[in-house]
Chains A and B, each alone.
Chain A
Amino acid sequence: MSETSSATACTNGPAVIRAENLGLTFPTGDGDIVALSDVNLTIEKGDFVSFIGPSGCGKTTFLRTIADLEKPTSGTLSVNGMSPEEARKARAYGYVFQAAALYPWRTIEKNIALPLEIMGHSAGEQAERVKRTMELVNLSGFEKKYPWQLSGGMQQRASIARALSFDADLLLMDEPFGALDEIVRDHLNSELLKLWARTEKTICFVTHSIPEAVYLSTRIVVMSPRPGRVTDIIESTLPRDRPLDIRETPEFLAIAARVREGLRAGHSYEEGSV
C-alpha cells in the first residue's frame, strides 16, 4: 500500500505519525515472525484512526512501535517529527492499554496523578489537572475510591483520564474497551467521540470490532496477518457529529461493508499465498 494523503475535513497540519517501509521481525525458537512488513502510513493532526484486523495482524505491534515499546527492525517511523524514543521522552502521547492497569494501592485521583508526579508537576498543578480530567471522563465524585471498588467501565475511564492528564496531543488506545460488555462499550464510544471533539487530540485506536471502528474513525486502517501489513485504508464519509443511531444509516453500513470486504481480501490473499 502506498502512502495515502488525507482528504478528510481535518486541518492540514504537519504529520503526527509518519511510517515509511516500516518492518518489525521477532526472532523466536522456530524461525522469525514477521509482525510488521512494509507499512506506509501518515496520520495527521486531529485524525481519529482505527486499526482493525484479525489477531496477529500487527495492529497492536504497530501501536507499541509508535509508543517506543517495540523497536522497528527496518524502515523509518517518526512521531511529531521525532524518533519514537525522543517522542516518548518528550511525553508526546498518552497510552491506554487493554486492561486499565490502575495501581491497586493508589486511589483513583492518585492514579491519575501518577504521570504528573513522574513528570514533576507541582502539587497544585497536579490537583488542578486531576480535577479537570476527572470531569472530562465523568468520574467526579470517585476521587477517593480505590480501583477495585469501581466497575470495569469506570476503571477504563480512569485509565483514559490518566492518559489525558498530562495533555499530550496524541492518544494511543489499544483495544481499550475490548474487555467490556457491549452496552458499556457503546456508552464509552459515544463519550470518547465527545471527548475527541472537545480536546481535538489525534487518536490511534486499535480494535477488532467493525462497528466500533466505523463509528469512531475518520480513517480506518485494515490490516492482515502473516506477515502483518496494511491491506486497505478507508476514509470515512460520516460527519464528525455522530449520534449512536448513525449506525443504522445506509452510509454507515456501506463503510462497514467495505471494511469487511477489506478483511476478507486480506484473508483470501493469505490463503492464496501460503
Chain B
Amino acid sequence: MNRTSLTTMQFALALLASGAAALGLVFSLPDPGSVPLLTVFFALGAAAMVRLIRPINLWFDGALMLLGAVALLLALPQTGAMPAHFWWALVASWAFAWLFVERLSAAIRAGHLPETGTGLVIPVIFGLALLVAWEVITRGANVPPVLLPPPSAIGARFMAETNILWADFVQTFIKSVLPGYAIGCLAGLAVAIAVDRSPFLKAGVMPIGNFMSALPIIGIAPIMVMWFGFDWQSKAAVVVAMTFFPMLVNTVAGLNAASAIERDLMHTYAANNWQTLMKLRLPAAGPFIFNALKINSTLALIGAIVAEFFGTPIVGMGFRISTGVGRLAIDLVWAEIAVAAVAGSAFYGVIALIERGVTFWHPSVRGGRA
C-alpha cells in the first residue's frame, strides 16, 4: 500500500510539511539543542523529503505527526510568546496530520485497511489536532485567558471544581431538563394521538404546530420565571413548551406514514381503531417519534440553560455561565460548557441507541453508514 503514488493534494501536503520542518530547522539554528526533541522532529520531517525518490510508509507520516505534537507541547514556554520556529513546528505537524489522514482514508477506500477501527481513528485525529492547535495557539500567542483559555487550564479547572459542576449538573439536567423533556414529549405524543382521529382537528393543528416549531419559544423564559419562580420548575416549564411542538408535529406526520395497502389490510381484518393504532400506525410512526425525541434532546438542554439567565437560585449551569462571564472566570465557564456538551451528546447518544433498538427494521437503520 505504501507504494501507491501520491495524489496531487497529498504531494502538496507532503511538500508543505517537509518544507515547514526544514524552515523550522533553519530558524532554530541560533540556539540549537535547546529543545532536542523539536530538533529531532525538524530533522526527520525535512528528511521525509526523500519521498520524492522513494515512497514512504503512511504510518511514518503518522509517527511524525505525533512526534511534532508531543515535542511542541513539551517545549511550550510557561510564560510569554513562543519563538518563531515553534510556529513552523505547528504548521509542519498539522500538515503531517492532514497528509496522514488523507493517505489513511485513501487506503481505507482502496480496501487496504479495514473500515471499522481505522475509520474511527480519522475523526479522533482531527479532534486531537484541533485541541493541540488550540493549546499551542492560545499559549504560544499569549491569547488573554479571558478571551479563550487553553484546554489544559480548562481541564485543570474542571478537576478542581467537580463539586460545583456536579451540583450545577443536577440542578439543570436532572431537575429541569429531564422532567420537562418527559412531560413535553409525552404531552406532544398524547395530543397527536388524540387529534389524529379527527381530520378537522388535524388540519387545524398541523399548520399551527409547524409554525410554533419555528418560533423562538425560548423567549417565553422570562414569563415562565415570573409564573413559576426561580427554581427548576420554571426551567422545566420552558423545556415543556420547547419540546411539545416538535413532538406533536412529528407524531401526527408519523401516524400518517403507514401505506394504503397496510391500512387496507387492517380493514380486511375488521380491526378496530385501537388495534390499528397499536399494531400498525404507532410502530410505523416510530422513526418520526424518535426523530422528535432526538431534536428535543438538544432543545431541552438549551432551553433550561437559557432560562437560567433570567433568574435562578445560585446554582445551575446557566447561572454559572452568566456569573462566570461577569467575574471573568472564563475557564470555569468553559468547563461548564464541556459538561453541557458531554451531557447533551450523551443524552442524544442514548436516544439514538434506543432508536436503533426499537426501529431496527427501518431502512435508515439497517442499511449503511449513518
Contacts and interface: CB of A to CB of B under 8 A. Distances in A.
Tell whether any CB of A sits under 8 Å from a CB of B in the complex. yes
Contacts of A118: 266, 269, 271, 275, 279
Contacts of A115: 269
A67 interface: yes
Interface stretch (A96-104, A175-183, A188-196): A96-104
Given A67-B268, A69-B267, A95-B265, A105 B259 contact: no
Contacts of B265: 95, 97, 101
B270 A105 contact: no
Contacts of B360: 105
A91 B270 contact: yes
A202 to B, nearest CB: 16
A51 B262 CA distance: 23
B31 interface: no
Interface string A116-127: 011100000000
Contacts, number: 52
A144 interface: no
A95 B268 contact: yes
Nearest to A105: B361
A239 to B, nearest CB: 33
B280 A97 contact: no
B262 A91 contact: no
Contacts of B283: 103, 105
Contacts of B366: 148
Interface size of A as a range: 20 to 34
Contacts of B359: 105
Contacts of A69: 264, 267-268
A98 B362 CA distance: 21
Contacts of A146: 361
Interface in B243-293: 259, 261-262, 264-271, 275, 279-280, 283-284, 286
B136 to A, nearest CB: 50
Contacts of A185: none
Given A91-B269, A103-B280, A118-B275, A97 B264 contact: yes
B270 A88 contact: yes
B272 to A, nearest CB: 8
B361 A88 contact: no
Contacts of A205: none
Nearest to B272: A118
A103 B262 contact: yes
B268 A114 contact: no
B271 A101 contact: no
Interface string B36-60: 0000000000000000000000000
Nearest to A162: B265
Interface in B328-360: 359-360
Contacts of A101: 259, 261-262, 265
A173 B268 CA distance: 13
A99 to B, nearest CB: 6
A146 B359 CA distance: 13
A119 B268 contact: no
A93 interface: yes
Nearest to B264: A69
A198 interface: no
Nearest to A149: B366
A43 B270 CA distance: 23
Contacts of A68: 267-268
B271 to A, nearest CB: 5
Nearest to B367: A148
Nearest to A69: B264
Interface in B184-238: none
Nearest to B276: A118
A69 B267 CA distance: 8
Closest 3 CB pairs of A and B: A104-B361, A105-B361, A101-B261
27 contacts: A68-B267, A69-B264, A69-B267, A69-B268, A88-B268, A89-B270, A91-B270, A93-B268, A94-B268, A95-B264, A97-B261, A97-B264, A97-B265, A99-B261, A101-B259, A101-B262, A103-B262, A104-B361, A104-B362, A114-B269, A114-B279, A118-B275, A118-B279, A119-B269, A146-B361, A148-B361, A148-B363
Interface of B: 259, 261-262, 264-271, 275, 279-280, 283-284, 286, 359-363, 366
